[in-house]
A and B are shown apart, each in its own frame.
Chain A
């Protein structure tokens, strides 16, 4: 029983007054007391009611979490499957394997783990890497910087790593370019981009996370412009040059782009951000990279896409087969806006028109706007960034490829992440909606022995081994022709197909799947299919899908088993074409000249070293295919530290 009296003016009974006045005082006191009790009771019931509201296991978001919300009678621990609406990181919740007997937990020994290191993809000697930073060509060297943790094989303590190369393939490691030694980047020397000024000098803009965890933009430049290796960097004494503007949160302001010139002779940059759940790109003009003016409005915004990380903005030629300097504009030029979506860890791009006067950009096809349309890559690929290579007049794309194994394995092997092979980017004149990505031609310098196969017939439901010797470092170019009769005769259906929701290569259709099995062992107990699947609609129209199926890539149970891929436009008269780079634990696949690209990480336990083989396969039910291929063994790129003695160049 609550004693409410202390709050009320107590009239002392030992007091003086006779009944009259105390009678008067007692009535209001009773009133007070009863009001107080009423309020107390109401409050009590309100609390009861609200706590009852939440006791059901309903949840608000679109994600469908499976049977894991388990009553105590659940015997088995089941992982949660992540619905398509929710962002999925490289590490996805593991699904119970369809075939439990074949699953091994902890199969990893040092032999398997050391095999995973790539031979010709960029990676530091050890530890964690993420976003590519400030790529550029300067005084005869290609420079590559990257987010790096010098201490562990997991994200943290991020600084800028640095490497140089003459040909974008053979890299030499240099000392760290920038570390977290200022208050404005103490909590992270994050992503940034380089701009080459007309006089040839370089400026770097990058995001720092301050001691208060505020995201700011900082200016840095080479300590010695005559050093072709650009080893030492100086941070501008007046940093930061940009802080989050009004209306933008401290945590939503990062990854400044390369600058381009406006018709007024100013430099313009864009920085990704968000307002609530609308992803946006802010625009700033500057004359000196020190003082900036924020433009009204934004370059572009797309609701529902969340934070835009690593925004990239660049021109592509509608007519020429070369790249364009970032400042180029004109009637035969389209502009690409690209964003890395924080919400789903994918890179999206869209082609459109840049309106220089007010610093805005409009997509050609709003249905495939930034964040809701095309992706650079349908596998593991994030934080990509392009640069204009003035050496060879091309636009080159870098992309971060994370791991899809367990962090326990990463810790054991001592490293995590690689970069994709740099790709040239061109506007796809034939579709007008896509970009074409293709590994830089310098990679061909790694080609060793080649094997040619002409018109190999692969019947429906069969597998053909391709004898190419060791099959862990390969460059494969293939063309497929499908039996025309089967194409015409097959009845179409309304059923929609998607790589990720399909059953992988065990799901047989009339006209697919068919393609290659890479990193497969003789018994095919481990295999990574890279393949086409043709679906015929009820209107008779054909749709071609390009997929990469990880579900049987390894008997280990602690690696991703997803199926990646997307539609690939195949135009009248085009053969189905494929290029695949196999480099140990990474497979990069390009369909139709790079119209649709898939990068995946593969961690076999058996299909490694000499046991890894290559096969053609056709698991369609009706159509046979014939394949012509050229396959090269690939040499290592011998990526190593820059030699100390001056003689060895």
Chain B
């Protein structure tokens, strides 16, 4: 009988531990993402990075920062490709402006945000994340054909929205 009981306890502990550990990781991600305006994007971004399972809020911010940078690099590549074949001078000007914006995001905004988070001075991360979102916005705004979207709309939106997520999470560290 005692064998049964001890085995039962063992199984219960095993199940309990397994589910509570993964439950609490998901919980931090959920509670953090609830405080951003893009819950689904936030959760998706964090869950797809293995570091999120052991990250604290600072770590989650770092993951989002890395994701902004990755998306920005991808969008920058798109812009460069478009520039290679562009004929229309207005479009060319807009694309060139976007290069400036994206270089700022990649070389200034994200490195400063990551540095500020690491050094526990999160207000500079909030500021940089806000700027990154604004840079993406400025790029999108610079295309003439409103109200339809620019050729790089999805990149701009992804970078913008993720920057806002980063801004929100960094604000939690204040």
Contact = CB atoms under 8 A, between A and B. Distances in A.
Nearest to A36: B11
Contacts of B34: 54, 58-60
Interface stretch (A113-121, A405-413, A457-465, A581-589): A405-413
Interface of B: 3-4, 7-8, 10-12, 15, 18-19, 22-23, 26-27, 30-31, 33-40, 43, 93-94, 97, 100-101, 103-104, 107-109, 111-112, 115-116, 118-124, 126-128, 130-131, 133-142, 146-149, 153, 156-157, 160-161, 164, 171, 174
Contact of A50 (B27, B118, B140): B27
Contacts of A53: 30
A325 interface: no
A76 B120 contact: no
Contact of B133 (A28, A93, A106): A93
Nearest to A382: B123
Contacts of B140: 77
Nearest to B127: A89
Given A28-B4, A69-B37, A89-B126, A406 B134 contact: yes
Given A59-B37, A77-B156, A47 B119 contact: no
A271 B94 CA distance: 49
A544 interface: no
A402 to B, nearest CB: 8
A75 B37 contact: no
A213 B40 contact: no
22 contacts: A28-B4, A40-B15, A46-B23, A59-B36, A68-B164, A75-B147, A79-B133, A79-B134, A80-B37, A87-B126, A91-B134, A93-B130, A93-B133, A106-B100, A106-B138, A155-B115, A156-B111, A213-B119, A250-B120, A342-B122, A406-B101, A557-B138
Contact of A75 (B22, B27, B100, B148): B148
A87 B125 CA distance: 13
Nearest to A307: B174
Main secondary structure of the interface of B (DSSP, over half): helix
B107 to A, nearest CB: 8
Given A50-B26, A411-B107, 18 more contacts: A39-B11, A54-B33, A58-B39, A60-B31, A68-B161, A75-B147, A80-B133, A91-B131, A105-B94, A154-B112, A187-B119, A188-B119, A306-B174, A406-B101, A406-B138, A407-B109, A407-B131, A558-B135
B120 A251 contact: yes
A54 B30 contact: yes
Nearest to B146: A100
A243 interface: no
A20 B133 CA distance: 74
A91 B127 contact: yes
A195 interface: no
B134 A93 contact: yes
B94 to A, nearest CB: 8
Contacts of B124: 155
A61 interface: yes
Given A47-B19, A407-B109, A89 B130 contact: yes
Contacts of A65: 37, 164
A69 B30 CA distance: 16
Contacts of B135: 406-408, 558
B106 to A, nearest CB: 11
Nearest to B29: A54
Contacts of A10: none
Interface string A73-107: 00111011000001101111110000010010110
B100 A408 contact: yes
B39 A59 contact: yes
Interface residues of A, number: 67
B120 A411 contact: no
A39 B12 contact: yes
A154 B3 CA distance: 66
B134 A94 contact: yes
Contacts of B127: 89-91, 155
Nearest to A7: B11
A152 B108 contact: yes
A32 B4 contact: yes
A105 B141 contact: yes
A56 B43 CA distance: 12
A31 interface: yes
Nearest to B173: A251
B123 to A, nearest CB: 6
Interface in A28-71: 28, 31-32, 35-36, 39-40, 43, 46-47, 50-51, 53-61, 65, 68-69
A32 B8 CA distance: 7
Contacts of B131: 91, 406-407
B118 A213 contact: yes
A412 B4 contact: no
B35 A103 contact: no
Most buried by B among A90, A155, A306: A155
A209 B39 contact: no
A156 B112 contact: yes
Nearest to B122: A342
A94 B137 contact: yes
Q: Which 6 A-B pairs have the closest CB atoms?
A: A251-B120, A65-B37, A106-B97, A105-B142, A408-B104, A54-B30
B144 to A, nearest CB: 11
Contact of A57 (B4, B40, B137): B40
B133 A75 contact: no
Given A91-B127, A105-B97, A342-B123, A77 B171 contact: no
B23 A50 contact: yes
Contact of B112 (A35, A93, A155, A213): A155
Interface string A387-416: 000000000000000000011100110000
Contacts of A68: 37-38, 161, 164
A1 interface: no
